[in-house]
Amino acid sequence: MRILVLGGTRFLGRAVARLAHDRGYDVTCAARSVSGAPPAGPRFVPVDRDDPDGLAALDGGWFDAVVDVTRRVDHARYALDTLADRVGHWVFVSSVSVYADHSVPGRSVADTPLLPPAPDGVDGPGPDFRFYGECKVSIERAVLDRVGPDRAFVCRAGLIVGPEDTSDRFPYWVRRLADGGEVLAPGRPDEPVQWVDVEDLAAWLLHGATTRLGGTFDGTGPARGMAEVLAGIAAGVGRPDPRLTWVDGGFLRARDVRPWSGDRSLPLWVGGDPADAGFLARDVTDALAAGLTVRPVGASARATLDWMTSTPEAVRPGGLGRAVEAEVLREWHAERDG
């Protein structure tokens, strides 16, 4: 089995390339190698899809499957024009950010409206990921138009977690719960959270490539309540029975505590906005039936902590600082006890 990974130098792409090599496949990673290095084992071919001849080094070869994670519309179209006739199956990693409406929990691929394609002249996301979802919509259309639905597996990935995740979303909670003490937990204990471990997603992408799975699916696990998720992370990092103090979302917003990611944020929390009620609560029945398997969140937390400990400089600092957390908790207790 010959697998081409367009990328393969960071997070999901690296996980796909590493797993495919470990399974004995003939793996080629094609990338600029600007954002990282490919894993040991796969053949690496330097390419630059900004160059009109950037994929020339791949000329003449046949691949049983391609896995592409790009967010650039021009890069996707260039790869399709160059490689589609020499590829058996095309796997494209899209995103749940393609959806135009996240307000309804329990929606599926079949019944959720999409954003429009990227406007003319927009080939990639701008600052703050503007047009990210629209670019992914454009790429999905290009893939399906060029290779057809029977030869294409479009995976709309959700929140991806696990080792080599350099964001501050899942790593924030791994670090914070491992530290112990009283932990500020946002919103309601039953607010939904959805995620997929990078190794589980990589395995499913390879399953789709090798079985020629066709269709469009959401690539994420079943939704779980925030309390269950935080308890699972805590258990995974050796802190069972965490001291969680649940603080009302309105109270947090009034103190400029932000949702999802970045400074002063509590990641995995979408802020209680009704417009986002379904963002982390999608129906993934069809993905599970198509072979996606998900590990317990504690296993992801344990592996992430091991990686963070070995490479402490790799994770982007973010989330709610400990001093701010302590102050918000003091105010919350004072208001409730006063």
Q: pLDDT per residue over 246-270, tens digit each?
A: 999 999 999 999 999 999 999 999 9
pLDDT of residue 127: 82
pLDDT of residue 139: 98
C-alpha closest to that of 247 among 194, 320, 179: 320
What is the average pLDDT score of the chain?
94
Q: Which residue has the tokens 């103090």?
A: 245
pLDDT band, very low/low/confident/very high, at 185 (cuts 50, 70, 90): very high
- Indicate if the pLDDT at residue 102 is higher than 80: yes
Give the lowest-confidence range in 28-42, 145-159, 274-288. 28-42
Helices 198-211 and 11-22 sit at what angle, rounded to 10 degrees? 60
Rg (CA), the chain: 21
pLDDT of residue 53: 84
pLDDT of residue 338: 64
- Indicate if the pLDDT at residue 2 is higher than 90: yes
Q: Which residues contact 52 (CB under 8 A, 6 or more apart)?
A: none
pLDDT above 70: percentage of residues in the chain = 99
- Report phi then psi at 30, rounded to 5: -120, 115
pLDDT of residue 241: 92
As a whole number, mean pLDDT of residues 179-195 equals: 97
Cα distance between residue 17 and residue 2, in whole Å: 11
- Indicate if the pLDDT at residue 180 is higher than 90: yes
As a whole number, mean pLDDT of residues 64-75 equals: 96
Return the beta strands (E) in the chain as ranges.
Answer: 2-6, 26-31, 43-46, 63-68, 87-95, 152-157, 160-161, 182-186, 192-193, 196-197, 215-219, 224-225, 243-247, 258-260, 265-267
- Indicate if the pLDDT at residue 278 is higher than 70: yes
pLDDT of residue 60: 76
C-alpha closest to that of 280 among 226, 244, 227: 226
pLDDT band, very low/low/confident/very high, at 188 (cuts 50, 70, 90): very high
Q: pLDDT per residue over 52-62, tens digit each?
A: 888 888 877 89
Give the lowest-confidence range in 20-34, 214-228, 230-244, 274-288. 20-34
pLDDT band, very low/low/confident/very high, at 299 (cuts 50, 70, 90): very high
As a whole number, mean pLDDT of residues 294-301 equals: 98
Structure tokens at 316: 């982007």
As a whole number, mean pLDDT of residues 218-224 equals: 98
As a whole number, mean pLDDT of residues 89-97 equals: 98
